[in-house]
A and B are shown apart, each in its own frame.
Chain A
């Protein structure tokens, strides 16, 4: 039998090989100075660099030729862990030589290598065909590994964590705001969107106008929507009794919350209606014919059967909101976006990453988690 290289293994193996030739880390004399790229052997003690090269060679070989998905999983995981530990080591090595104000950040080589390995990692998980609980287990293990690396201080010499140390309190506070915005607007969209979806499913002539109206709102750019909301919310704060006490203001968290809510409505309403429409006609007819009341038909037959599609809507909304909540910082709404915009203002890449990386991680974890939950529903309901 001829050895045929794996389809995904070729580009990802090539990417991984290239990444080793690219700068592993970058060194700056201070926080906003120009970056000097540092190659693998410059950034790391030779033993480390050689070890990493050897492991990478093995990982490329496995990516190209291995068939066993367990092997395809094990090598990228080992290499990712090695890369994560090594970048911390590089931070310590370079910082020790360059002095107190120097900043060490992961370079293009690290990011591209980590990217290629993550793709190989997820690909191996798909090939393993894990159960939903198995996927949740992998998610938990990965999160735990990341937490361990952070807690043991392995990355403390890296510039992102230097940014974090100066703002630890703000980081967690804004993280809290971010979650409040994303999950709060999701909850509001569920409470309003599911009944609206049921309504337009029942009242057919309402369907087109409502869905078109919600689509239209989806097309308003978020910045414009913030601007539009300043006027009514400002008016409400000034004139509606109790509104100001609830935190309603023209700027800040309130308009951000309302904007996210408006963007969430279309996926919630459309998916609820789509889920209900997909209930087979025979099932609907049988439910009525058996003598279920209208309410019983909805609660015990139609909604349970629509649930997977409704949850898919929840997943879309949550991932979308976690990303969009970043923009809230523009109008003083808080969230991880605060660091992104501060970083943009100061041309401090590390600060931008301090806001961006947790946002991406949150969105990713939510997506994997909800996908697993949807797959955990009884097979018959899917």
Chain B
């Protein structure tokens, strides 16, 4: 559990982050979303003390981070940045091994860990490990950056616009993969982005920041349906809001008995996916199948649109 109390940062008397408090439960993803200049990156960098707070405190599992040496604290926190920041003069293997080496792990243990992590991130260890960063594609470099951050099994992962440099197709895949890895490893992640869609897709909770303050800290559904302020509302985007909301809801609860024409859709997919399919193929209803491919019934457009109208 990470406890953040009244964290404040001032530069020359001007507060960039003002009195921010939040608790981050172990094993969850919290996304900080805000425009540039909202103080979100500064806030993130105070957690690993790349920026020293002017006031307030951060506790990790009950230990005040100010009581640790900054470099020892950072070795316990994974850090991923936008342009991946891989060390260009080191191979991928050496890059991933950075923190384990600093912590003095044995050679064999490090080798095994590097192998394990590259495989986890769907990179072929034999092919990728000996390469230098300039020999990687953007997507590969981003994955190596994540592997490096995870290497020493950190207490938490800080990610500052981790997908910002990727093109849309690779970004969508990277987001999906991050979510799966987080679920598999039970990592605690604090991620900063300016992209509300990314926040909604990844966050179990979203903190909307503006001018150094947290405007709202809530699950994505609540951010969409009950924005706490005009700023949150503008970030959510009035015309996109229904689609974003639909993207949070799974098909499964709307499945009704009956049949429909055409190719089936998986019950675990979102209502947004179902709507898109209906529009594109001109159907009123879609057959729904479960994970094993067995037919479960159908979902109709009327039910979908009714579900997409948020409770008032």
Chain A residues close to B by CB (< 8 Å): 280, 282-283, 285-293, 296, 301, 304-305, 378-381
Give the complex CA separation of A280 and B134 in angstroms.
13
Number of chain B residues close to chain A: CB under 8 A: 27
Contact between A289 and B99 (Cβ–Cβ < 8 Å)? no
**Chain B residues closer than 8 Å to A378, beta-carbon distance:** 89, 132
Interface positions, chain B 160-208, Cβ under 8 Å from A, are none
Interface positions, chain B 87-139, Cβ under 8 Å from A, are 87-90, 98-99, 102, 132-134
Given contacts A291-B75, A291-B102, contact A286 B89 (CB under 8 A): no
Give the complex CA separation of A344 and B132 in angstroms.
56
Most-contacted residue by chain B among A282, A296, A301, A379 (CB, 10 A) = A282
Q: Is B40 an interface residue (CB 8 A)?
A: no
Contact between A291 and B89 (Cβ–Cβ < 8 Å)? no
**Chain B residues closer than 8 Å to A288, beta-carbon distance:** 50, 74
Nearest residue, chain A, Cβ from B145? A286
* 7 further contact pairs, Cβ within 8 A, besides A282-B81, A285-B50, A380-B134: A280-B85, A286-B85, A286-B87, A290-B102, A378-B89, A378-B132, A379-B132
Chain B residues close to A by CB (< 8 Å): 48, 50, 71-76, 79, 81-90, 98-99, 102, 132-134, 148, 158
Nearest Cβ on chain B to A266's Cβ, whole angstroms:
27
**Chain A residues closer than 8 Å to B84, beta-carbon distance:** 282, 286
Contact between A380 and B79 (Cβ–Cβ < 8 Å)? no
Contact between A304 and B89 (Cβ–Cβ < 8 Å)? yes
Give the complex CA separation of A378 and B133 in angstroms.
12
Give the complex CA separation of A218 and B87 in angstroms.
36
Nearest residue, chain B, Cβ from A287? B87
Most-contacted residue by chain A among B76, B87, B99, B134 (CB, 10 A) = B87
Give the complex CA separation of A66 and B82 in angstroms.
51
Interchain CB contact (< 8 A) of A285 among B76, B85, B89: B85
Give the complex CA separation of A296 and B101 in angstroms.
12
Nearest residue, chain A, Cβ from B91? A380
**Chain A residues closer than 8 Å to B74, beta-carbon distance:** 288-291
Nearest residue, chain A, Cβ from B75? A291
**Chain A residues closer than 8 Å to B148, beta-carbon distance:** 290
